[in-house]
Structure 1
């Protein structure tokens, strides 16, 4: 091949390379790649959490009508039902579909804002991409894995952005096409308002966008002000109609949980309320702008003995290299023809919009008396800063552009921030992954131990046993499992944690107190003495323990759990039900492969049924599968099983082994041996075996 031919081929490759990077739609594709890296790598392993569960329950058990009624009473958003119904019908009830939807909506929202900024500041392509990248992975909103609950918020944000973009296009089109775009923009505005009120405050940003847009055409301030008002008026009217409909026409059977208390107080105490709102605005803006970034350098991330941390570090490294190379080589971003006055004006406009978003974005939250700074759960409060993240990003990019004037250094800074933010989101998703794994573990063991349960039974633990959950989400998950989706027949159970619900009334709790809950459309009424007490600490290599009054001598649980075990009503487990209870596969997917805890739960249920031969058979099956308990307490059903089968050699062997596996087993083993003595037929071998064991354990009857 001649040198000339090689040069021609190289020129073609370079030309193709530049076309690929400079193509306008290469940027959305690039942003999608960043989205998948930050939010998509772990989504096959994510599930449902917290507020996801009541949406799943009402849709799965009661269908569209139940979901709509719940949204009306629970969140005052009845017109959000179209969104939930659509996604459930499209993807079914497995979590994966919702996580894909949440990712796509977040990405689509960013792309629309990129189009808006491109329409307003076409020369500032590089800065517009900086904004898009940093807004996409801004390390503040930590509830992304709660996909059912917060996909609606991203849908609302997307519809707002779409409405804003169509408004900008309409101004450029004018005439018939301009009117059509305005009409579609108004529909999008109404849709985001009635679906979720979170972004209604951003409607006050439209005049500023129009002012910047009209600046290029109209220099006369008076005429520009008049034009801005008339172009904003249709959108202002839609906002006014929404406010009137929302607070005066919409019938809310359960009362309005979003009453604008601050607005009502403003009419009687305007100065005090204004000062309070201003103070709240400053504090919340500071939290959104700065709090998320301390996570990017958290010391625990640098613990390289952890395998997942090493994986995250690898992803961060490759992300930095990839983003930097992309920014450096994107053809359209390397050509800049911006003079100093244009840059200054752009910085001022961006700063103004950023401050406007920080001021107006959380306004709906502030007006109902909520805020970020005083919220007791700062992680949950990150949802209040969703709109503000965009404003914080604009200000951050202005700061980068002002202080780092060299493109190469600015590219490095942005690539580093993006890569570190990706690491934050990966670590966050990993925590949610662990929560889902723990949920699957709990629910599968619970269904193996409890094939059915008397109605109005509470399931109670010492503390909350599932992170990113809570009492009512765990209750809804259990009710989803035990209800009959074919008939719409609801089960009626609730979950409580003693420390959070009864710590101040322990005496009444132990004596037997009425338990009542009225949450959304669900009512629960039970009694503390008609409850199951459970202990679940898989981190200590323990299975789920459904405690019995006989377990009050167990030293492996806390004093509070021992006392609570005395009121554990295991007779509420309907042991007559022979059909195994399975987790709904359309929600949970495939069951966890059988492990030791599967054998333990089945043996514990068989003990309650008095099926002693089945217990010994389960032990033999476990041994064949090389499954063994890691805790001495989990030998006890098998000790009792072999005792009732009069296999005293196995009883002696297991008892000694249980005592060695876990410290503090003597008390519960002694109680077990005394119970065996009372419930098995007398024989010389039995009496000799029990005597030797009680002497070995130094039991005192």
Structure 2
């Protein structure tokens, strides 16, 4: 087998990037703030990001303007761009590290690979958001570090100026990296010539060199302080840590937690995920990917010839550990002071981006210091990197599932609600997705139902989560006529509780439009009060059935999926709303003939009622028994349904059967 040279490293970086982040890209989409940002770029234009970010992070606006001008709002395109940006960040880190430690070729490569695959950060696939909000700034910061080191080794005023410019773009657009700057001082200190002594002279000289960067850093701190005191910049709904007696203990716990997660838990968490379900297909694929990646990396390391020095490795390890440890603590400090938790595998693990580079340095330094045998060190490093690839694959699969739920919800909305009266709020208490909120999904809602929206108009539609918004500025109360206000960057939705439709989208069921007659608070009495208390507001008449149907953009959600149970369920609900019981029964017959059945027995209700009114009483009775046996919570729903059937059925036999079934269900205790 031939040896690998330095020329192969770029291809190796690219291969690992694809293995970790690219395998599931065709099945990934938009998440969280990706949606409003994509909607703004498409309907308001890229220039709208300038006023959109002015009250929050004004220096982010130009970054969004550039990227959204170059790239269309297509999920696949942004996911590919995310791959390119992640690879670019690793190459920037590698270049910067080589400027700091040019003789430590394998060590700097190791740090860069650990940085590339850092498994504590699971937000890679929220691509449009995090590329613009953090990754571009982080790349600028890393390049700034490298230019500072290069200017120290080969004095160059242009390099120093460029380093300051890159520092500006690393600092000012986002507060994530404010804790990284002291690392530059440590880098300067270790790069000073050895003949500068004693120790205090080295410190003095380091501070002199660092002064321009320090001034820019302090200017940024002042800028942040100004915006925080203005109240517009801080977009987090958390409280900063106070000066209470418990703060010292909290600080110690916070330090320990950050180090533990940076050095150990981030890298080992995938083992726990695998062990939860060893026979699951995703676990089997993930384990196979880990084994394949481990073999690939170890063979590559064994055959890689970089011509690096092995002398003084303990010195390098000590430097890497000290800088890494400082970076982890300083990188975590701002978010800790803001009261933000560092929780892995949640949206809060986005905070690890500020400690990612330092964590890679710390882990690589510990491996170098603790494992003296080069082969065993390669095995350990290969194992960590392989586990990281496995973790990123598992995270990507979570996002894949979430995107599938998004697609299903979008299409079910279009089937159940062909069109909507403008000014309608869709109210619910939860969504079947993990990586979206009501505000983020308001964007695709308007994309589907207001494809001709023009800038300057009010937002036509909004999705409102009562669990999150009730009692606040969005929806103060559930009294009829209460204003519903949803600020959406530079536009707003203005509606009313008297112009609303209540929807329910369970994770293991189909979308439903609730209403005071067929799907009321008695039918769903076991559900959360945040849902049932709103049903009386639901006005299905705001669903327009005589106009052109909703447009689900295929460049966003792909082609219309096959018509399985949820298609027939949502269409049957719509037909029930229109009083077309023959169509409801027909849809039930077609679904049965195709072999489709509901997972959630509540979805039998429209068909049972249709069979009563279309004189298929035996089928109605049979389905009632099946549904009740599967889901006893249907008791009140079946009682109400057969109560209506007793009154409305055209057959005397149907009236008699309705009474019998109501007695069997003990509807009148």
TM value normalised by structure 2: 0.86
CA separation of 1:66 and 1:314: change in aligned 2, threshold 3 A: same
Alignment partners' CA distance in 1, 2:142 and 2:8: 20
Alignment pair present for 1:134 and 2:104: no
Q: Report the equivalent of 2:148.
A: 167
Select which of 310, 323, 337 maps to 1:338: 310
Select which of 606, 618, 624 maps to 1:637: 606
Alignment partners' CA distance in 2, 1:286 and 1:670: 56
CA separation of 1:507 and 1:193: change in aligned 2, threshold 3 A: closer
Alignment partners' CA distance in 2, 1:364 and 1:350: 22
Q: Report the equivalent of 1:4.
A: none
Alignment pair present for 1:652 and 2:618: yes
- Single out whichever of 445-454 and 283-292 deviates more from structure 2: 283-292
Q: Report the equivalent of 1:405.
A: 372
Alignment partners' CA distance in 2, 1:449 and 1:379: 32
**Which runs of 5 or more residues in structure 1 are unaligned?**
1-13
Deviations 1:500-557 (A, max 9, x none): 8479xx9964888665554644545555565433332242xx2112122233443695
Q: Report the equivalent of 1:465.
A: 432
Alignment partners' CA distance in 2, 1:576 and 1:263: 50
Larger fraction in helix: 1
Q: Report the equivalent of 1:9.
A: none
CA separation of 1:278 and 1:298: change in aligned 2, threshold 3 A: closer
Alignment partners' CA distance in 2, 1:356 and 1:638: 64
CA separation of 1:168 and 1:336: change in aligned 2, threshold 3 A: closer
Select which of 463, 478, 491 maps to 2:460: 491
**Is this contact kept in 2: 1:494–1:524, CA < 8 A?**
no
Deviations 1:338-377 (A, max 9, x none): 33xx2232122212211231233234435xx4145x5689
Alignment partners' CA distance in 1, 2:440 and 2:490: 14
Alignment partners' CA distance in 2, 1:166 and 1:598: 58
Q: Report the equivalent of 2:538.
A: 569
Alignment partners' CA distance in 2, 1:438 and 1:640: 29
Select which of 240, 250, 255 maps to 2:232: 255
CA separation of 1:116 and 1:396: change in aligned 2, threshold 3 A: same
**Is this contact kept in 1: 2:608–2:624, CA < 8 A?**
no
Q: Report the equivalent of 1:439.
A: 406
Q: Report the equivalent of 2:504.
A: 535
Select which of 178, 181, 194 maps to 1:200: 178
Alignment partners' CA distance in 2, 1:129 and 1:139: 17
Alignment partners' CA distance in 2, 1:599 and 1:401: 61
CA displacement at 1:245 relative to structure 2: 5.2
Q: Report the equivalent of 1:607.
A: 576
- Paired residue secondary structure (2:44): helix
Alignment pair present for 1:45 and 2:19: no
CA separation of 1:577 and 1:509: change in aligned 2, threshold 3 A: same
Alignment partners' CA distance in 2, 1:118 and 1:289: 23
- Paired residue secondary structure (1:543): coil
- Paired residue secondary structure (2:641): helix
- Single out whichever of 594-603 and 405-414 deviates more from structure 2: 594-603
**Which runs of 5 or more residues in structure 2 are unaligned?**
none
Alignment of 1:41-440 (within 5 A): 41-73=23-55, 76-152=56-132, 153-174=134-155, 178-215=156-193, 218=196, 224-225=202-203, 227-244=205-222, 255-257=232-234, 280-281=254-255, 283-298=257-272, 300-301=274-275, 303-332=277-306, 335=307, 337-339=309-311, 342-366=312-336, 369-372=337-340, 374=341, 379-440=346-407
CA separation of 1:329 and 1:536: change in aligned 2, threshold 3 A: same
Select the structure of larger CA radius of gyration: 1
CA displacement at 1:228 relative to structure 2: 3.5
**Is this contact kept in 1: 2:460–2:493, CA < 8 A?**
no
TM value normalised by structure 1: 0.83
CA displacement at 1:37 relative to structure 2: 1.0
- Paired residue secondary structure (1:537): coil
**Is this contact kept in 1: 2:429–2:531, CA < 8 A?**
no
Alignment partners' CA distance in 2, 1:213 and 1:376: 36
Alignment of 1:572-583 (within 5 A): 572-583=541-552
